[in-house]
Amino acid sequence: MAAGHSDHYDVIVVGAGVVGLSCAWRTAERGLRVLVIERARPGAGASNVAAGMLAPVGEATWGEDRLLDLALESHRLWPRFAEELAAAAGGEIGYLDLGALHVALDRDEAAELRRRFELMRSLDLEADWARPRACRELEPGLGSVTAGVHAPHETAVDPRSLIVALAAAFEAAGGRLEVAEVTAAVLDRERFAGVRTQDGREHRARATVLAAGSWSAAEWLPAEARPSIRPVKGQILTLRGPASEPVCERIVVGERVYLVPREDGRLIVGATIEEQGFDTRITAGGVHELLREAYRALPDVAELELVEANAGLRPTTPDNLPLIGAGEVAGLLLATGHYRNGILLAPVTAERIAEMLESGHPEPVAEVAAR
Ligand code: GLY
């Protein structure tokens, strides 16, 4: 297509991470004409390095009740989302009912875990206190464990398989995915009317969805349309051993580490939480901390091969709540700011965005989050 050419869609989604593609797929399924624009490749941001824990109980924390409600709602949507996606894409996405075991490895950690357990109970979350023997019955590979909390309904998905499936399902639903860098907003009077890409082309749509993760506060947006998003760095490792002898069968969570087993023998070890701007260097300190804590929890990790070390950037808002809904400029919707929960919150984000796009009545971000 020549520079200067203008094309027209019902919806443009900027960003082909799990959130952007989920919104795009669910919207295309409703019969709208959708273009996704991605500057690198699908999942190139946080999605490709995420562990894929779908763990609302483990992520629950003090003072975040609205986020918890959203997380629980999305967790309930996940089984159907996974099933429909696998059917639409004709491939598996590594969705597993693993359950999670939170472990304390010394007395201080046990006191902290007890506090977290009391919180879980006060929020009516499904979790049981487990003594050391019960922990070891669940996970015989554990090291010296002082106490545990078993959250049996936590699940996981492989975000890389998820991205491939979402892209396939989206295209099968009639959507179009383009790799291009967005360089400017197209405004029609005060209204957002689309975007311009580096090759000079203009892409117009009735609505544009900003799903650019940590890059959502982009300079190409009008200043008043830029959401308050900052990147929070996470370093994460992939280990690998024989699939027939996994070092754990559940998600194992320590105070400073989580371990997520995949069916093929990989074990994801995550993740640091660092305020480092857009820095994505892998540091000796980060890798050391993750391996040290993984080894404390499950000593057999020492036998595994270290196959990858990555760093991703979590798109984070001041209150940790995602931005889902209409932003400050008419015609622009936000689907960003999911911090630690982008994969978990993808189904609920997609349902809400698709509904708003189909009805033509976008709701303001804060109201959507409060529902
Ligand atoms: N969801 C876990 C993390 O962001 O590290």
Summarize pLDDT for 304-338 with one digit per residue, the tens.
999 999 999 999 999 999 999 998 899 999 999 99
pTM: 0.96
Query: How many structural domains does the chain have?
Result: 2
Distances (CA, A) of 126 to 58, 72, 100: 10, 11, 11
Find out whether the beta carbon of 150 lies less than 6 Å from any atom of ligand 1. no
149: containing domain: 98-153+230-316
What's the confidence (pLDDT) of residue 4? Answer: 54
Q: Is the pLDDT of residue 91 over 90?
A: no
Does 198 share its domain with 336?
A: yes
Does 105 share its domain with 221?
A: no
Find out whether the beta carbon of 340 lies less than 6 Å from any atom of ligand 1. yes
pLDDT digits (tens, 9 = 90+) for 144-154: 999 999 999 99
Does 119 share its domain with 238?
A: yes
Among protein residues, the one whose CA lies closest to atom 4 of ligand 1: 340
Does 171 share its domain with 308?
A: no
Find out whether the beta carbon of 52 lies less than 6 Å from any atom of ligand 1. no
Find out whether the beta carbon of 271 lies less than 6 Å from any atom of ligand 1. yes
How would you classify residue 74: left for phi > 0, otherwise alpha for psi between -120 and 50, otherwise beta?
alpha
114 band by pLDDT with thresholds 50, 70 and 90: very high
What's the confidence (pLDDT) of residue 368? Answer: 84
Does 252 share its domain with 265?
A: yes
What's the confidence (pLDDT) of residue 239? Answer: 98
Q: Please check whether residue 83 lies inside any domain of the structure.
A: no
281 band by pLDDT with thresholds 50, 70 and 90: very high
Smallest CA-to-CA distance from 3 within 174, 204, 235, 197 is with 197
Q: Is the pLDDT of residue 2 over 80?
A: no
> What strands lie across the sheet with 100-104, from one edge to the other?
128-130, 147-151, 100-104, 251-253, 258-261, 266-270, 230-240, 305-316
Does 307 share its domain with 234?
A: yes
Percent of the chain's residues with pLDDT above 70: 99
What's the confidence (pLDDT) of residue 5? Answer: 67
Best mutation site among 18, 53, 54 for ligand 1, i.e. most ligand atoms within 8 A of its Cβ? 53
| Mean of all residue pLDDT scores within the chain | 96
Best mutation site among 67, 238, 340 for ligand 1, i.e. most ligand atoms within 8 A of its Cβ? 340
Does 351 share its domain with 276?
A: no
The number of CA neighbours under 13 Å toward the Cβ of 208 is 31
| Coil, strand or helix at 118 | helix
Does 140 share its domain with 249?
A: yes
Q: Is the pLDDT of residue 1 over 50?
A: no
Does 141 share its domain with 111?
A: yes
Does 146 share its domain with 271?
A: yes
| Average pLDDT over every residue of 177-194 | 96
Among protein residues, the one whose CA lies closest to atom 2 of ligand 1: 340
What's the confidence (pLDDT) of residue 260? Answer: 98
- Locus of tokens 């929020």: 123
